Amino acid sequence: MLKKQRAQLVLDRLNELYPETPVPLNHSNHFELLVAVLLSAQCTDERVNQVTPALFLLANNAASMQHVNVEEIYNIVRPCGLAPQKSKAISNLSKILVDKYNGEVPEDMAALETLPGVGHKTASVVMSQGFGHPAFPVDTHIHRLAQRWGLTKGNNVTQTERDLKKLFPKESWNSLHLQIIFYGREFCSARGCDGRVCDICTSCYPNRKNPFKANKA
């Protein structure tokens, strides 16, 4: 099966399984989404959703958050891991948003990436899920699945993102990124599938004999 054929198979199966792609991080505005995505680094969405109600009750916009003591933020976000860095980033980015962007989250990838604690993946999620711009955020799980399915041989998430953007139509990027995440959690987790178990893996590579080892991101 050619790579383009595998890509079409993946797209068709995921569209069948997940016709709706709700954003997994609970939020009510762009600032809340930005903070939630920042907190989700090396943390589950479920855990983030448990933590953010208390945080956003305290402050759910940059103008309010800039006045919250970093230690108070830390005490709330501590269950998410990397709490010292994340709490400082939330405080500092809030001040920057107020000073440079009138308290609003900028609708610009480059501007987002300059904010403390906001890397390319976080900025891509905000641009796609918050503002609706085509983006393809790739984390280590998407990177691993894309390799299992023969869609990339990239050694890092940057190369995998480039490869996936070439394979799939731009209008599918925002939903597909979420569909892959949903599928990975349900059927193709790191422990649940080694490239020879789930439907997509076995459809893409029906003759695969040995466990697949992905290049680490």
Which member of 139, 165, 194, 209 is catalytic?
139
Q: Measured between alpha carbons, how far is 59 from 54 in angstroms, rounded to an integer?
A: 9
165 an active-site residue? no
Tokens of 179: 């569909």
Tokens of 8: 């079409």
Tokens of 99: 């000073």
- Torsion 129-138-200-5 (CA) sign: positive
Which member of 45, 121, 166, 194 is catalytic?
121
95 an active-site residue? no
Q: Could you give the C-alpha distances from 41 to 14, 85, 148, 196, in angstroms and in order?
A: 24, 11, 23, 28
Catalytic sites, residue numbers:
121, 139
